[in-house]
Structure 1
Amino acid sequence: MTTSFGFATTAAEVVAEIDLSGKRVVVTGGAGGVGVETARALASAGAEVTLAVRNMDAGRAAVVDIVASTANRAVRVAHLDLADLASVASFVSGWEGALDILVNNAAVMQLPELSRSAEGWEQHLATNHLGHFALTTGLHRPLAAAGGARVVMLSSSGHLLSPVVFDDLHYHFRPYDPRTAYGQSKTANALFAVGASARWEQDGIFANAVMPGAIRTNLQRYIKEETKRSWGIGDDYDQAKPPANWKTPEQGAATTVFVASSPVLEGIGGRYFENCNEAESVTDGAAHSYLAGVARYALEPSNADRLWEESLRAVPRP
């Protein structure tokens, strides 16, 4: 699937002629970075938007900013800590009515040391995948009630760093590596879209994965400063004029907003998009740009099925 949009397209350009009035949206991690720009664009199109965030002060500030810039007062904030299953359950139980769009945007990236959730899960997989798995399966009924609901999973080109290693999901045997831990979780995000679409198509729920692009945000807070400088995003980084192959947050939100709102994706699920277009499938990550393409293992239905079953064992169906 190809469109007229591309690398430099902004979220505002994607929704310029789209009306989301009456639609209800949840954006996890919506207090900053790509998340707040995603929420802003969807609110500008008339949607009722809930920012599901861990830091409520940051979330309240984001609500004030979005309302001021869009004149849409149907924007609110709710607490959600994806690494805490009790917090996820509380958010789910507090949701009332249908849900049209769920944007699973929140993430942690390249934690320097191995850390685990209360359940003993490796923290990248716990937050980026299993927390979102619990949230999305918990919201299945509201999504089904919407009719034609969409789930957007924010994956990353980082998925090219690692498949899901089913025999050692939580680094009990292999040496911990921040890059592969993050990569595994981003592959899991893409596979969730495949698995959810296969299971929920009859319920009118369609999930797709997106790669937003390289954007300097708080997500990189654990990356060493020398590494950031080598990427061209050191202390002199200008967010309004990023270096080549990097995007502004407004550009980074475009693919998410496209997948969440574009009429051309009605009834389409289980795919992976970048730069507002369906990504090319690649078989050799070393032979392609680090910022392009989707590994076949990230779209393989058998991998998606296995991940779904592993996730259900970890997070029982509500």
Structure 2
Amino acid sequence: MNAPEPEHCPGPETQNAGKSAACEGCPNQNICAEGPKGPDPAIAAIADRLSGVKHKILVLSGKGGVGKSTFSSNLSLFLSQNDDTQVGLLDIDICGPSVPKMVGLEGEQIRQSSSGWAPVYVSDNLAVMSIGFLMANQNDAVIWKGPKKNGMIKQFLKDVDWGDLDFLVVDTPPGTSDEHLSIVQYLKDAGITGAVLITTPQEVALQDVRREIDFCRKVGVPMIGVVENMASFVCPKCDKSSVIFPATSGGARGLAIEQNIPFLGSIPLDPRIGISGDFGESFVDQYQDSPAYAAYASIISSISAFCAKN
């Protein structure tokens, strides 16, 4: 939602959503009016399709440019370092699908099998799905309204043969609107293990994360915790660090204390993270000497511990 519901809100999933007198003037009116109404039969089909997926993790951020897709990709690559762990990475950023490039799958296409769409594989135990695989030209703009975006997300969940997974990581776009409401609704019966919220230290980014936290509480998504990205710059030659974005209001740690949610850790800015994403290489496989790798290891250990308990 873009704003709190009005006092007499009919509810975003009801037939009167966006149409009742209480909806007049509400910033969410168009989102609710165009969104799915009532129980969607696809919800049960999605739950059945994902019955073999143990943990579903949403990666959220209120603001763009804070490294959410980079974190989603590296989280998936890190988890898949264990050959016995089956991982799926779902990119629902319909208008900005960057995951295929980051994991080295740019230009790949989806294949149809007897059991549905087959995801594209980075390795034997890391499957990826993105609208980027459906685009003939990677520079084409995706200019879709809410219902078409919702339909695409539904198809990714219902028609993709994910098989048995230990983790399904869902990379979401910035904000709290169509795609977010859709993924939460469609996974209602399948269950969401929790959300990881990504931010940078400056207050401008933290403001939007507060809205994301409010979204999670309103729709009932458990929060695994918050990750602070790009907190400092680490020189890849001498490992010395310097602050790039000063935490003028306490940074992500202060936000976590304020909102009573776990602080998972801080990831320094290592230029090799960006270079790896540009060339579709695995940072977590190639640069284990980096302080950023140690930060990822600690954060992902906390995420895995949360999943083991839930």
Q: What TM-score range do you get, normalising by the shorter chain? A: 0.3 to 0.5
Q: Determine which structure has the larger strand proportion and give its number.
A: 2
> Computing the radius of gyration over CA atoms, which structure comes out larger, 1 or 2?
2
Could you tell me the TM-score, scaled by structure 2's length? Answer: 0.42
Q: Determine which structure has the larger helix proportion and give its number.
A: 1
Could you tell me the TM-score, scaled by structure 1's length? Answer: 0.41
